[in-house]
Amino acid sequence: MADDKDFQQRVQRIGEQVRELESIADPAARTTAKGLLQSLMDLHGAGLERILEVVFNSGAGGAQLVDDLGRDPLVSSLLVLYGLHPIEIEGRVREKLEQLRRKLFKMGAEASLISVNGNDIRVRVRIEGHGCGSTARTVQAAVEEAIYEAAPDLTSLVIEGLEEPAASGFVAVTQLMSGPGSASLPPHGLPNPQQHAELIADAEGMD
Protein backbone atom coordinates (compact mmCIF):
# COMPACT_ATOMS: atom_id res chain seq x y z
CA MET A 1 0.00 0.00 0.00
CA ALA A 2 1.27 3.47 -0.84
CA ASP A 3 2.65 5.55 2.04
CA ASP A 4 1.76 9.18 2.70
CA LYS A 5 4.69 10.66 0.76
CA ASP A 6 4.08 8.42 -2.24
CA PHE A 7 0.42 9.42 -2.21
CA GLN A 8 1.28 13.13 -2.14
CA GLN A 9 3.67 12.64 -5.07
CA ARG A 10 0.88 11.01 -7.03
CA VAL A 11 -1.46 13.87 -6.20
CA GLN A 12 1.14 16.37 -7.41
CA ARG A 13 1.63 14.39 -10.63
CA ILE A 14 -2.11 14.35 -11.27
CA GLY A 15 -2.14 18.11 -10.76
CA GLU A 16 0.60 18.50 -13.36
CA GLN A 17 -1.28 16.31 -15.84
CA VAL A 18 -4.50 18.26 -15.34
CA ARG A 19 -2.64 21.49 -16.11
CA GLU A 20 -1.10 19.86 -19.19
CA LEU A 21 -4.61 19.32 -20.55
CA GLU A 22 -4.87 23.08 -21.01
CA SER A 23 -1.96 22.97 -23.47
CA ILE A 24 -3.68 20.57 -25.90
CA ALA A 25 -3.94 22.46 -29.17
CA ASP A 26 -7.10 20.78 -30.44
CA PRO A 27 -10.08 22.33 -28.60
CA ALA A 28 -12.27 19.26 -29.21
CA ALA A 29 -9.61 16.88 -27.89
CA ARG A 30 -9.03 19.13 -24.88
CA THR A 31 -12.74 19.23 -24.09
CA THR A 32 -13.06 15.45 -24.48
CA ALA A 33 -10.07 14.77 -22.22
CA LYS A 34 -11.33 17.10 -19.49
CA GLY A 35 -14.84 15.68 -19.83
CA LEU A 36 -13.52 12.14 -19.41
CA LEU A 37 -11.59 13.13 -16.29
CA GLN A 38 -14.62 14.87 -14.80
CA SER A 39 -16.85 11.87 -15.57
CA LEU A 40 -14.43 9.58 -13.76
CA MET A 41 -14.37 11.94 -10.78
CA ASP A 42 -18.18 12.09 -10.76
CA LEU A 43 -18.35 8.28 -10.75
CA HIS A 44 -15.71 7.86 -8.04
CA GLY A 45 -17.23 10.65 -5.95
CA ALA A 46 -20.70 9.09 -6.10
CA GLY A 47 -19.24 5.72 -5.10
CA LEU A 48 -17.30 7.16 -2.16
CA GLU A 49 -20.34 9.09 -0.98
CA ARG A 50 -22.45 5.93 -1.07
CA ILE A 51 -19.79 4.00 0.88
CA LEU A 52 -19.74 6.67 3.59
CA GLU A 53 -23.54 6.73 3.76
CA VAL A 54 -23.67 2.95 4.22
CA VAL A 55 -20.99 3.04 6.91
CA PHE A 56 -22.56 6.02 8.68
CA ASN A 57 -26.00 4.38 8.77
CA SER A 58 -24.67 0.96 9.83
CA GLY A 59 -25.25 1.54 13.54
CA ALA A 60 -23.85 3.31 16.60
CA GLY A 61 -20.26 2.66 15.49
CA GLY A 62 -20.80 3.94 11.95
CA ALA A 63 -20.35 7.61 12.79
CA GLN A 64 -17.13 6.86 14.65
CA LEU A 65 -15.81 4.82 11.73
CA VAL A 66 -16.48 7.70 9.32
CA ASP A 67 -14.62 9.96 11.75
CA ASP A 68 -11.68 7.52 11.85
CA LEU A 69 -11.58 7.39 8.04
CA GLY A 70 -11.47 11.18 7.98
CA ARG A 71 -8.35 11.08 10.17
CA ASP A 72 -6.46 8.62 7.97
CA PRO A 73 -3.98 10.68 5.87
CA LEU A 74 -4.59 8.82 2.61
CA VAL A 75 -8.36 8.52 2.90
CA SER A 76 -8.60 12.09 4.16
CA SER A 77 -7.08 13.48 0.94
CA LEU A 78 -9.60 11.57 -1.16
CA LEU A 79 -12.53 12.72 0.94
CA VAL A 80 -11.35 16.34 0.66
CA LEU A 81 -10.99 16.02 -3.11
CA TYR A 82 -14.60 14.93 -3.45
CA GLY A 83 -16.01 17.35 -0.87
CA LEU A 84 -16.88 14.51 1.52
CA HIS A 85 -14.60 15.07 4.51
CA PRO A 86 -16.61 14.89 7.77
CA ILE A 87 -14.43 17.43 9.63
CA GLU A 88 -14.09 21.08 8.60
CA ILE A 89 -10.63 22.40 7.76
CA GLU A 90 -10.17 24.44 10.96
CA GLY A 91 -10.93 21.44 13.14
CA ARG A 92 -8.45 19.27 11.25
CA VAL A 93 -5.68 21.86 11.56
CA ARG A 94 -6.26 22.45 15.28
CA GLU A 95 -6.24 18.72 15.98
CA LYS A 96 -3.02 18.20 14.02
CA LEU A 97 -1.24 21.07 15.77
CA GLU A 98 -2.27 19.60 19.12
CA GLN A 99 -0.77 16.26 18.07
CA LEU A 100 2.40 18.07 17.05
CA ARG A 101 2.73 19.93 20.36
CA ARG A 102 4.99 17.39 22.11
CA LYS A 103 7.35 17.06 19.15
CA LEU A 104 7.76 20.82 18.89
CA PHE A 105 8.23 21.15 22.67
CA LYS A 106 11.29 18.91 22.45
CA MET A 107 12.73 21.39 19.93
CA GLY A 108 11.92 24.35 22.16
CA ALA A 109 9.13 25.50 19.87
CA GLU A 110 5.38 25.84 19.75
CA ALA A 111 2.87 26.53 16.98
CA SER A 112 -0.60 28.06 17.23
CA LEU A 113 -3.35 28.66 14.71
CA ILE A 114 -3.98 32.36 14.13
CA SER A 115 -6.78 32.24 11.59
CA VAL A 116 -8.55 30.23 8.93
CA ASN A 117 -10.06 32.42 6.23
CA GLY A 118 -11.80 30.11 3.81
CA ASN A 119 -8.98 27.71 2.93
CA ASP A 120 -6.21 30.22 3.72
CA ILE A 121 -4.38 29.25 6.91
CA ARG A 122 -2.18 31.43 9.08
CA VAL A 123 -0.02 29.92 11.85
CA ARG A 124 2.39 31.51 14.33
CA VAL A 125 5.56 29.66 15.40
CA ARG A 126 7.61 30.58 18.47
CA ILE A 127 11.09 29.13 19.01
CA GLU A 128 12.78 29.50 22.38
CA GLY A 129 15.71 31.89 22.08
CA HIS A 130 14.71 32.38 18.42
CA GLY A 131 16.59 29.14 17.61
CA CYS A 132 19.40 28.60 15.15
CA GLY A 133 18.83 28.37 11.43
CA SER A 134 18.77 24.58 11.36
CA THR A 135 16.27 24.41 14.22
CA ALA A 136 13.99 26.93 12.52
CA ARG A 137 14.09 24.94 9.28
CA THR A 138 13.33 21.69 11.11
CA VAL A 139 10.42 23.29 12.96
CA GLN A 140 9.06 24.81 9.77
CA ALA A 141 9.27 21.50 7.93
CA ALA A 142 7.45 19.71 10.76
CA VAL A 143 4.66 22.30 10.88
CA GLU A 144 4.23 22.39 7.10
CA GLU A 145 4.14 18.61 6.78
CA ALA A 146 1.58 18.31 9.58
CA ILE A 147 -0.73 20.97 8.17
CA TYR A 148 -0.50 19.75 4.58
CA GLU A 149 -1.41 16.28 5.83
CA ALA A 150 -4.37 17.56 7.84
CA ALA A 151 -5.60 20.07 5.25
CA PRO A 152 -4.71 19.03 1.69
CA ASP A 153 -7.51 21.37 0.61
CA LEU A 154 -5.78 24.53 1.83
CA THR A 155 -5.04 27.20 -0.77
CA SER A 156 -2.32 29.08 1.14
CA LEU A 157 -0.27 28.63 4.28
CA VAL A 158 1.50 31.50 6.06
CA ILE A 159 3.78 30.70 8.99
CA GLU A 160 4.66 33.75 11.08
CA GLY A 161 7.67 33.90 13.38
CA LEU A 162 10.19 32.52 10.88
CA GLU A 163 12.64 34.97 9.34
CA GLU A 164 13.12 33.10 6.07
CA PRO A 165 10.11 30.94 5.21
CA ALA A 166 10.90 28.47 2.45
CA ALA A 167 8.75 28.16 -0.65
CA SER A 168 6.71 24.97 -0.93
CA GLY A 169 5.76 22.94 -3.98
CA PHE A 170 2.60 21.68 -2.30
CA VAL A 171 -0.41 21.18 -4.58
CA ALA A 172 -3.81 21.32 -2.89
CA VAL A 173 -6.08 18.46 -3.90
CA THR A 174 -8.94 20.89 -4.47
CA GLN A 175 -6.86 22.59 -7.19
CA LEU A 176 -6.66 19.43 -9.30
CA MET A 177 -9.90 20.19 -11.09
CA SER A 178 -9.81 23.97 -10.77
CA GLY A 179 -10.20 25.87 -13.97
CA PRO A 180 -12.80 26.66 -16.64
CA GLY A 181 -15.62 24.16 -16.75
CA SER A 182 -14.58 22.24 -13.66
CA ALA A 183 -17.28 20.93 -11.38
CA SER A 184 -17.38 20.62 -7.63
CA LEU A 185 -18.69 17.63 -5.74
CA PRO A 186 -20.40 18.77 -2.53
CA PRO A 187 -21.61 16.15 -0.05
CA HIS A 188 -25.32 15.36 0.06
CA GLY A 189 -25.96 12.26 2.14
CA LEU A 190 -23.68 13.02 5.11
CA PRO A 191 -24.33 15.43 8.00
CA ASN A 192 -22.46 18.72 8.14
CA PRO A 193 -19.41 18.91 10.48
CA GLN A 194 -21.45 20.25 13.43
CA GLN A 195 -24.10 17.56 13.09
CA HIS A 196 -21.37 14.95 12.68
CA ALA A 197 -19.65 16.06 15.90
CA GLU A 198 -22.94 15.86 17.79
CA LEU A 199 -23.62 12.37 16.46
CA ILE A 200 -20.12 11.23 17.48
CA ALA A 201 -20.70 12.58 21.01
CA ASP A 202 -24.06 10.82 21.20
CA ALA A 203 -22.52 7.54 20.03
CA GLU A 204 -19.73 7.78 22.61
CA GLY A 205 -22.27 8.46 25.34
CA MET A 206 -24.05 5.20 24.45
CA ASP A 207 -20.91 3.10 25.06
Which of the 8 DSSP states describes residue 206?
H
Handedness of CA 79, 85, 91, 95 (dihedral sign): negative
Closest CA to 53 of 42, 66, 43, 64: 66
**pTM, 2 dp:** 0.61
Q: Is 82 in the same domain as 96?
A: no
Same domain? 79 vs 132: no
Report the C-alpha gap between 119 and 114 in whole angstroms.
13
- φ, ψ dihedrals at 197, nearest 5°: -60, -40
- Shared domain for 66 and 29, answered yes or no, is yes
Residue-wise pLDDT tens digits, 44-94: 888 988 998 999 898 888 888 888 888 887 788 788 878 888 888 899 899
Residue 149 pLDDT exceeds 90: no
What pLDDT is attached to residue 110? 92
Q: Which of 156, 33, 95, 187 is nearest to 196 (CA)?
A: 187
CA pair distance 86, 195, nearest whole angstrom: 10
**Boundaries of domain holding 9:** 4-88+174-206
Number of domains in the chain: 2
